Amino acid sequence: MKSELRKNKSSAVKQLLKDFEKLGIKKGSRVFIHSSFKSLGLSKDISPEDVVGILKKVVGPSGTIGMPTFTYSFSEDKRFNRENSPSATGILTEAFRKSEGVFRSISPSHSVAFWGCGAEYFAHLRYGITPYNIRSPFGKLYEHDFTIVMLGCGLMPNSTLHAIEDWADLPYCKNSVSTCYSAYSGTRDTGLPYPKMPLGHRDFYKEKSKYVSLMMRHGSITSGKVADATVYCMKVRELVDICMKELDKHPDLFLCDDPGCISCHHNRLGLDEWKRRGGSGWEQVWIGAAKTCITPGVGTYANHGWSVGTPCEEVHDDIYCRVIVFKNKAEYSALVSLEALLIEADLAGVYKKAVHEKTKIKPENIIICVTHTHYGPSFGTQRLYPEVQDESYSNFLSQKISGCVYDAMKNMEPVSVAFAIHNVDIGNINRRVRMPDGSYMFYANNSLSPKPNGKVSREFAMVFFRNFQGDVKAGIAEYACHPIFFPPATAEISGDYPGVLSATVEKEQGNNAVITFVQGACGDQMPQHYGEGYKGALTAGKKLAYAFLSEAIDARYKPLKSVIVKTKMHKIANAGKNVVTIIQALVMNDIVFAFGSSELFYGLVERFRKKLGSKRAILAGYIDSLSYLPEKKDFEYPTYETKLCEKVIKAKPGIGEEIVDACADMVKNAEKRIR
């Protein structure tokens, strides 16, 4: 008898394996399963634990299984405990929760559990994040395009629909607040106010719902059988993208049409205004912005003008870290601008890792650049000035950067974008001066004859991000000129003219606007009247600021539809052995910013734009303190810059062109992704 039972069980297990595989679930699949174990109609000798084991076998260790393990901990006597609180979403989910190798999130109301490849990552939830937030496990379902499997439970209990409501910022979710109780806030039990709790009735709580009809019309729901259960499958990205598009047309997609339903009738209030204000914004990029003071204390080692590593004696004006975070559907990226002299790629990598640990933004999606002010702390110049690094300040900066990115993510909203380039003269020159005999000299004083006569950058590139209210929420300003207005021997901290530019625009715009500065190809560009002090920096910064403010009013704004960050580690052929640097690109609609490692000469900009065929392509640098990157012809007549790059990285003629060409190729690849 027992032998017969074992035989029957073995046969049933094999059939279940085949049934799951017929649905397209296989090794390496990522599935999120809602279930009704009873509907499978299995014999008593096959337990929920057996079905869990079968599912694990089907996807294998290279796949991932997720299930809801909700608890609805809305009362003090039912505090959520991740290890012990039973799942309230069916006996299969409870068996899964208790099985080996499963990780569970800490949401006291809507916890989810995962097993398999990346399970701990998928289950991770920062404490206090609302259950369906884009940074919750549900956001990761979209990012990694899980397959939703409705195993014998119909199409009603699809919790991803509540995530869509949250991400679309529908007004009836915004006003729903509950208190959840958990044992996971430090060491004491606590009750947490949870905004955006999905309360009230929904149309998809009915078997025949509007969302099901919509998905069926798109051919986006497949079906099959597992044992006696009818099973429906759909891809998360398809579900979200289709529903978001429909919500923008019909905001009541998830509300029923029963005139007697008080809940859905009440929830319709505010939907017209929501639609008028731009709807879900899902097809638009959302941004958040923040800034934080990073001024070092008096006595901190700093770079002052062209001197190296002397203690700071005075703070003339505060210096800042400024951040813009972009959210393209479920993909986040960030631009970080530091008012500092230089930063090396290795150190930037440490800061990116800290940002990732706090926010989960991928390190390769983060750009950290510096404004190149010569009056800031010594922390990112190991290659050039290894003897004067301030490690304690660097550790402080790591915390400030990650905290600033985190703050920026707290005020995300959809934006439109505009771009402009104008010529603005702040008295800058090309500091490589051609002498009568054909040689070149480094311009070092105003009495030098002949006067500066090389190519000069006057271009001021501006990007404006405007929210629905018409406010400039953030911006990017790019200009190519060394910030060296202070005397070379000064011992003060200052953001120089980039700091003045950002601070002036931010003050005029109000509403917590953040203007990041990106230093252009200024390797051979400097103020003619360098060393005249803060007066020169103030004049230059305000001149640029007023141009920015003027253009922001009349600029032609378009919805920001796409943002891509590309990152590449580039081994340099025209340098010493094993010299590797970082190049990056930020592509926003058709606006391009390429970051070509370090101090590029201005003449390389023309080559870069010619390769891309666009004047909306900006060539910047200062994401790695590699050294100067001159044009090939500049090596024929050596000056300070060419000699330094030959000394530091054994640079050879052609290094600048090599970096620029690599940047152009990277941008082309990014633009292909957008198209």
**d(Cα 539, Cα 522) in Å, to the nearest integer?**
19
Beta strands in 487-542 (DSSP E): 492-493, 514-519, 525-527
Kind of pairing, strands 64-68 and 30-35? parallel
**d(Cα 33, Cα 60) in Å, to the nearest integer?**
16
Residue 135, pLDDT > 90, answer: no
Residue 300 is given by DSSP the state -
Residue 484, pLDDT > 60, answer: yes
| Residue-level length of the chain | 675
Q: Mark which of 225, 248, 277 sits at the end of a domain.
A: 277
**d(Cα 383, Cα 78) in Å, to the nearest integer?**
57
Residue type, 548: F
470, exposed or middle or buried, with CB in 10 Å at 0-12, 13-18, 19+? exposed
pLDDT tens digits, one per residue of 80-123: 888 989 999 999 999 999 999 999 998 888 899 999 999 999 99
pLDDT computed for residue 532 by the predictor:
77
The tokens for 196 are: 């955006």
Residue 298, pLDDT > 70, answer: yes
pLDDT computed for residue 96 by the predictor:
98
Give how far the C-alpha of residue 552 lies from the chain's centroid of Cα atoms, to the nearest Å: 24
Residue 487, pLDDT > 80, answer: no
Residue 545, pLDDT > 90, answer: yes
What is the average pLDDT across 139-161?
95
Q: Mark which of 254, 277, 300 sits at the end of a domain.
A: 277
Q: In the structure, what pLDDT confidence band is assigned to residue 422 with cuts at 50, 70 and 90? A: very high
Give how far the C-alpha of residue 368 lies from the chain's centroid of Cα atoms, to the nearest Å: 12
pLDDT computed for residue 497 by the predictor:
97
Residue 560 is given by DSSP the state -
Three-class secondary structure of residue 227 per DSSP: coil
Listed as own residue / partner, the contacts of 665-670 with beta carbons closer than 8 Å and 24 or more positions apart are 666/566, 666/568, 666/583, 666/584, 666/585, 666/594, 667/566, 667/585, 667/587, 667/592, 667/594, 667/612, 667/617, 668/612, 669/566, 670/564, 670/566, 670/585, 670/587
Rg (CA), the chain: 29
Q: What is the mean pLDDT of the chain?
A: 89
pLDDT computed for residue 378 by the predictor:
77
Give how far the C-alpha of residue 553 lies from the chain's centroid of Cα atoms, to the nearest Å: 27
pLDDT computed for residue 674 by the predictor:
57
Residue 26, pLDDT > 90, answer: yes
* Statement to judge: residues 269 and 381 lie in one domain: no
Greater confidence (486 vs 39) lies with: 39
What residues have CB less than 8 Å from 643, skipping those under 6 apart? none
pLDDT computed for residue 193 by the predictor:
67
Three-class secondary structure of residue 210 per DSSP: helix
pLDDT computed for residue 412 by the predictor:
86
- The answer to whether the beta carbons of residues 623 and 369 sit under 8 Å apart is yes
Greater confidence (135 vs 350) lies with: 350
**d(Cα 149, Cα 234) in Å, to the nearest integer?**
7
pLDDT computed for residue 596 by the predictor:
92
* Statement to judge: residues 260 and 293 lie in one domain: no
- The answer to whether the beta carbons of residues 656 and 631 sit under 8 Å apart is yes
pLDDT tens digits, one per residue of 282-291: 888 999 999 9
Greater confidence (208 vs 239) lies with: 239
What residues have CB less than 8 Å from 221, skipping those under 6 apart? 155, 212, 215, 232, 233, 234
Residue 309, pLDDT > 90, answer: no
Q: In the structure, what pLDDT confidence band is assigned to residue 31 with cuts at 50, 70 and 90? A: very high
pLDDT computed for residue 133 by the predictor:
84
The tokens for 71 are: 């608890």
- Residue 479 forms beta bridges with which residues? 519
Residue 9, pLDDT > 60, answer: yes
pLDDT computed for residue 236 by the predictor:
97
Q: What's the number of domains the chain is made of?
A: 2
* Statement to judge: residues 249 and 323 lie in one domain: no
Greater confidence (173 vs 25) lies with: 25
Q: In the structure, what pLDDT confidence band is assigned to residue 253 with cuts at 50, 70 and 90? A: very high
* Statement to judge: residues 384 and 363 lie in one domain: yes
Q: In the structure, what pLDDT confidence band is assigned to residue 2 with cuts at 50, 70 and 90? A: very low
| Of 229, 231, 205, residue with least CA distance to 38 | 229
* Statement to judge: residues 268 and 296 lie in one domain: no
**d(Cα 385, Cα 439) in Å, to the nearest integer?**
29
For 246, 490, 520, 602, the CA distances from 477, given in Å and listed in that order, are 37, 26, 10, 17
The tokens for 350 are: 């440490």
pLDDT computed for residue 186 by the predictor:
45
Greater confidence (153 vs 360) lies with: 153
Greater confidence (302 vs 400) lies with: 400
Greater confidence (436 vs 105) lies with: 105
**d(Cα 429, Cα 453) in Å, to the nearest integer?**
8
pLDDT tens digits, one per residue of 440-479: 887 766 656 667 778 898 999 999 999 877 899 999 999 9
* Statement to judge: residues 210 and 253 lie in one domain: yes
**d(Cα 367, Cα 476) in Å, to the nearest integer?**
13
* Statement to judge: residues 237 and 322 lie in one domain: no
Q: In the structure, what pLDDT confidence band is assigned to residue 672 with cuts at 50, 70 and 90? A: confident
Residue 67, pLDDT > 50, answer: yes
For 323, 380, 496, 595, the CA distances from 340, given in Å and listed in that order, are 14, 9, 10, 16
pLDDT tens digits, one per residue of 561-617: 999 999 999 999 999 888 999 999 999 999 999 999 899 999 999 999 999 988 789
* Statement to judge: residues 263 and 291 lie in one domain: no
* Statement to judge: residues 205 and 291 lie in one domain: no
**d(Cα 184, Cα 106) in Å, to the nearest integer?**
8
Q: Mark which of 277, 295, 325 sits at the end of a domain.
A: 277
Kind of pairing, strands 222-226 and 112-116? unpaired
**Alpha helix positions (H), 517-635:** 534-554, 604-612
pLDDT computed for residue 73 by the predictor:
57
Q: Find out whether the peptide bond into 559 is cis, omega within 30 degrees of 0.
A: no
Tell me which range, 324-328, 444-448, 527-531, is most confidently predicted by mean pLDDT.
Answer: 324-328
Residues of the chain above pLDDT 70, percent:
90
* Statement to judge: residues 183 and 299 lie in one domain: no
The parent domain of residue 332 ranges over 286-672
**d(Cα 201, Cα 267) in Å, to the nearest integer?**
9
* Statement to judge: residues 483 and 444 lie in one domain: yes
29 backbone dihedrals φ, ψ, rounded to 5°: -70, 150
* Statement to judge: residues 266 and 317 lie in one domain: no
What is the average pLDDT across 632-659?
92
pLDDT computed for residue 184 by the predictor:
56
**d(Cα 85, Cα 72) in Å, to the nearest integer?**
10
pLDDT computed for residue 1 by the predictor:
35
**Alpha helix positions (H), 156-235:** 160-167, 171-174, 210-217
In order, the DSSP letters of 356-417 are HHHH---GGGEEEEE---SEEES-S-TTT-GGG--HHHHHHHHHHHHHHHHHHGGG-EE-EE
**d(Cα 196, Cα 390) in Å, to the nearest integer?**
45
